[in-house]
Structure 1
Amino acid sequence: MSANQAKKILIFSIAYYPKYVGGAEVAIKEITDRIPGDDIRFDMITLRFDRTLPKEERIGNVMVYRIGPAKHDPSMDELVRFPMYLVKVLYPLLAAWKAFWLNRSERYDGAWAMMSYMGFPLVILRYLFFTTIPYVLTLQEGDSVDHVTRRRRIRVVSFLYAPIYRFPVIVQTISTYLAGWARDMGYKGRLEVIPNAVDTEYFAQIFASGELTKLRGEVGKKDEDKLLITTSRLVQKNAVDIVIRALTHLPAYVKFLVLGTGPDEASLKKLAHDEGVSDRVVFLGHIDRKEMPKYLKISDVFIRPSRSEGMGISFVEAMAAGIPVVATEVGGITDFLFDPRRNPDKGPTGLFVNVNDPKDAARAVKELLDDAGLRERCVMNAKRMVREHYDWDLIAKNMREKVFAALP
């Protein structure tokens, strides 16, 4: 590549905008949008899922190539059931085949595998198609190592897992916890810890009082009510069940907003009924990201007593929105949440609770609701920390200079 020629990087991501957007997809777009096309030119191979989406289109600074079988406007639930789930299982082979043909014309300088599973196409390229593309591996996983490596779709190709960590030019992780994971998986090369960020202005935006009053009415909030909120996929690791059980140890005016969907939704609704708190838990389903700040603004405490967490960008979003946070001392959360008891040398940014402990979760909620001084210190410190360390301009600069620059 000549000095004045843009570097070409091929991204592997199982989903992407405009319809299928999570933390990893947001990170890709926010980073690539901030890197000039005359410096790095990005292409992407992702699954199509929905046949209304074009097979090829440019989104921001990324040329997106969609592959695999698709159906008309599938729901999120359909994507985790057969036959759409099978498409995810087949992604590594389909993506490797597409990459092989793209690389013949594009001659990529490098690749970017967004999460461990996205390393499989690169390993298949190496061993089946005798094509080697130097690559960056980004770790964004939120589950434990055992859970990720033992999932059904990964067990089929588990023998390829070791090479994923053997060949990266560099591994970038979004937390120190995941950096340790990379070492546990056998990676011996260069590591960079660069977290995800949030749009601080977006989450800190001010809404008209009438707009917030209307939303409070829609979720059934009375004047005396206090609202807990979680923005979580409804899966075991996010411990929504612990918050539901914690309500039994809190006054009746404490309600719980649950934003998100997932396979545990039915069992969580049953749990709320069995615990006698179904009238205090509001399951709101999928809420568009553009509406998220508004729901955070009407809430009093963000709570997610996670059983595992790669980083936990939802906590940082809540901090940016200016509400206090309750979490567990697991995974990447310890990079940004400091509890006055457990981290007396740092300014508090939230409260920690024990894992799988509803009473302790209730204790932390009571503390924040009852102690205005503590609440204000946590909010002030957290907002300052987010502005200084979790800004997308800073993250994109670090990715460009510390990660992508490592590719030949």
Structure 2
Amino acid sequence: MTAARTKLLVLSSTYPRWSDDSEPSFVHELSKRLADDMDVTVLCPSAKGAQRLERMDGVKVVRYRYAPNALETLVHNGGIVGNLASKPWKVALLPTFLLSQLFTALWLCLRSRPDVMHAHWLVPQGLVAAFLSLCLRRKVPFVVTCHGTDLWSFRGRIWEPIKRWAAREASVMAVVSKVMEDELANQVGQINNVVIAPMGVDLEKRFRPAFNGRPCTYQIITVGRLVESKGVEYLIGAMPELVHRFPAATAVIVGDGPDRIRLERLAVQLGVTDHCEFLGKISNKELPDLYRSSSVFVAPFLQEGLGLVCIEALGCGCPVVASDIPALADIIEHSGKVHLVPARSRKAIISAVTEVFSNFDEELNGARRSHSRLSAKFGWNVVSEGYAAILRGAMTRN
């Protein structure tokens, strides 16, 4: 007799709206791998152009409405935190966003009776999962994964007691890096159900070096939402001197967000518009070729949970220059080939990029050699097996 498949309900505020979407895809990448052995349903917010109900790569996707179609803009194109910062009026969408997610999740629980839930981000999805555990007669164990913004952006007297309650209701609290484990303890106190479990990168098929080719000379790339915490202004600020040293130098800026106009104006003010190419959002399929065609990836982060884009770049054999922030320590440990610079320092970026350009063959070979070590820690095969074990362990804790 075949054993029944585990029913998993995933709660997430970030999810691809369609195939090859430019929105972050790590929740879907994990979910589709878990779907090999589990019946996975993902609950996520609706968006213009996205189907309300569909099956994507073996994952059942349910999207809940929280506003008229034209106003469902709280989540995408910058994330909740970025959108609220750039357009404060969107705070009016939060009540219906939370309530619609809660009631739809409750309906799904009553209808399909999941064995376990996985909430991505402590706020708001972890909070919703904790409320569900109170509402349901049959308590459903749940795992919460913190990705970064849920810890650093929702602070103060109101949020920290809420986060403390949700974290202690969870069967397992997962954080994607060691620094986040420390931050979680600072906010909610010591709890005994915390594990470090990063998200993954498709290093097996997509993000691989092109050993038989060379990238474009002096092409710099950065990838991410254009929000203050990504620090892109410091890369643009470094461009006048880099162009002076390397006249062919170009910064390719991939991503969109509330800071884009400000950053484009900065490039004009500094006289480097011809050397700063704003590509906007591109599909996830296009990223590997961009990494492979670039000479260096610059991640001038001010704050970050883990830095998956650095792993993607290294996986494609692109040398990396990144801010010396604690979250990147986990990547350094398993790659050994990242130039760390102080955050907010244009001079340090100039110096590090100059070093990469000046010793390019050595830098390129070092980045390419890091692929196998990164795969052993951050490859999706390893990461998904770890999360499958965490979810099944959560079921035995209750």
* TM-score normalized with structure 2 length: 0.84
Matched residues, percent identical?
A: 21
| Residue pairs, 1:357-372, within 5 angstroms | 357-372=345-360
Matched-pair contact (CA < 8 Å) for 2:44–2:61: yes
- Aligned partner of 1:222 in structure 2 is none
- Aligned partner of 1:163 in structure 2 is 165
Aligned: 1:190 with 2:193:
yes
Residues 65, 156 of structure 1: alpha-carbon distance in 2 compared, 3 angstrom cutoff: farther
Residues 65, 145 of structure 1: alpha-carbon distance in 2 compared, 3 angstrom cutoff: closer
SS state at 1:229 partner: strand
Aligned: 1:199 with 2:202:
yes
Residues 188, 261 of structure 1: alpha-carbon distance in 2 compared, 3 angstrom cutoff: same
- Give the alignment's Cα RMSD to 1 decimal: 3.1
Q: Deviations over 1:268-327 (max 9, x none)?
A: 111112122222111111111111112212210000111111001100000011110000
- Aligned partner of 1:181 in structure 2 is 183
- Aligned partner of 1:341 in structure 2 is none
- Aligned partner of 1:120 in structure 2 is 127
Residues 264, 396 of structure 1: alpha-carbon distance in 2 compared, 3 angstrom cutoff: same
Letter in 2 for 1:40: M
- Aligned partner of 1:65 in structure 2 is 62
- Aligned partner of 2:145 in structure 1 is 138
SS state at 1:123 partner: helix
Structure 1 stretch displaced more, 278-287 or 104-113: 104-113
Residues 82, 11 of structure 1: alpha-carbon distance in 2 compared, 3 angstrom cutoff: same
Aligned: 1:10 with 2:9:
yes
Residues 269, 407 of structure 1: alpha-carbon distance in 2 compared, 3 angstrom cutoff: same
* Displacement after TM superposition at 1:380 (Å): 3.4
Aligned: 1:248 with 2:250:
no
* Displacement after TM superposition at 1:245 (Å): 1.1
Q: 1:97 aligns with which of 92, 96, 103?
A: 103
Residues 130, 124 of structure 1: alpha-carbon distance in 2 compared, 3 angstrom cutoff: farther
Letter in 1 for 2:16: Y
SS state at 1:317 partner: helix
| Residue pairs, 1:338-353, within 5 angstroms | 348-353=336-341
Q: Distance in 1 between matches of 2:134 and 2:293?
A: 53
* Displacement after TM superposition at 1:401 (Å): 1.7
Matched-pair contact (CA < 8 Å) for 1:8–1:108: yes
Q: Deviations over 1:344-398 (max 9, x none)?
A: xx97311000111100110000111112364145313422322322211111111
Structure 1 stretch displaced more, 109-118 or 131-140: 131-140
Q: Distance in 2 between matches of 1:380 and 1:78?
A: 31
Matched-pair contact (CA < 8 Å) for 2:78–2:256: no
* Displacement after TM superposition at 1:399 (Å): 1.0
Letter in 2 for 1:9: L
- Long gaps (5+) in structure 2: none
Matched-pair contact (CA < 8 Å) for 1:144–1:308: no
Matched-pair contact (CA < 8 Å) for 2:221–2:298: yes
Aligned: 1:108 with 2:114:
yes
SS state at 1:332 partner: helix
Q: Deviations over 1:325-344 (max 9, x none)?
A: 00012132111126xxxxxx
- Aligned partner of 1:29 in structure 2 is 28
SS state at 2:153 partner: helix
Aligned: 1:235 with 2:239:
no
Q: Distance in 1 between matches of 2:353 and 2:78?
A: 36
Matched-pair contact (CA < 8 Å) for 2:122–2:150: no
SS state at 2:110 partner: helix
Q: Distance in 1 between matches of 2:78 and 2:183?
A: 31
Matched-pair contact (CA < 8 Å) for 2:315–2:374: yes
- Aligned partner of 1:395 in structure 2 is 383
- Aligned partner of 1:221 in structure 2 is none
Residues 100, 309 of structure 1: alpha-carbon distance in 2 compared, 3 angstrom cutoff: same
Matched-pair contact (CA < 8 Å) for 1:249–1:362: yes
Matched-pair contact (CA < 8 Å) for 1:231–1:258: yes
* Displacement after TM superposition at 1:9 (Å): 2.0
- Aligned partner of 2:283 in structure 1 is 288
Residues 404, 4 of structure 1: alpha-carbon distance in 2 compared, 3 angstrom cutoff: same
Structure 1 stretch displaced more, 234-243 or 158-167: 158-167
Structure 1 stretch displaced more, 274-283 or 57-66: 57-66
